[in-house]
Amino acid sequence: MAGFRGSSSNHFGDGNYKSEAMLSDINVTPMVDVMLVLLIVFMVSAPLMQQGIQVDLPKTKSPALTEQDKPVVIVVNHSGNVEIAQHEIPSAEVTDKLRAMFEKREKKEIFIQADKGIPYGTVAAVMAQAQAAGIHRIGLVTEPKSQAAQ
């Protein structure tokens, strides 16, 4: 057995297996794979967090909104879906949702941001639901006309 101590045999049972050589090489491939997946997830999700819903607003001459309180904005997108606080609400629940939101508010006013391509009846229905919830001041959000378009 003394002759086996100095030999470089790699048998598992003889006690001369050099485990230090295996621990010196760290496999970083799994870590790189995980980092690349996280990078891709971040790259895909970052633009979604910065953008809101794109609504093509009509252009009008009106003064800018200068209130300190953050107003409640109802968005009616190009497909006619209603969103309040960036959450899509079924049209049957708009009155109940608004009633709950304005239950303890002193100032009962909302702003409707509707795409210019949707039928007027859709906007009128949302306005009627807001009035049914007890909201008396309803504004329509528009974009100012450019000087060249006048």
DSSP 91-131: GGGHHHHHHHHTSS-SS-EEEEEE-TTS-HHHHHHHHHHHH
Q: Give the pLDDT confidence score for residue 44 in this predicted structure.
A: 87
Contact, 76 vs 126, CB < 8 A?
yes
Q: Give the pLDDT confidence score for residue 50 in this predicted structure.
A: 65
For the domain spanning 59-149, the CATH number is 3.30.420.270
- Classify residue 10 as exposed, middle or buried by CB count within 10 Å of its CB (0-12, 13-18, 19+): exposed
Spatial distance between the Cα atoms of 78 and 97, rounded to a whole number of angstroms: 21
What are the domain boundaries of the chain?
9-50, 59-149
Spatial distance between the Cα atoms of 2 and 4, rounded to a whole number of angstroms: 5
Question: For residue 122, which of 57, 72, 78 has the smallest C-alpha distance?
Answer: 78
Q: Give the pLDDT confidence score for residue 116 in this predicted structure.
A: 84
**pTM of the prediction?**
0.52
Spatial distance between the Cα atoms of 17 and 10, rounded to a whole number of angstroms: 5
Q: Which tokens belong to 78?
A: 């190009």
The 10s digit of each residue's pLDDT in 32-51 is: 999 999 999 988 888 777 66
- Tell me the pLDDT of the chain averaged across its residues: 77
Alpha-carbon Rg for the chain, nearest whole angstrom, is 32
Contact, 149 vs 123, CB < 8 A?
no
Q: How confident is the model at residue 148 (pLDDT cuts 50, 70, 90)?
A: low
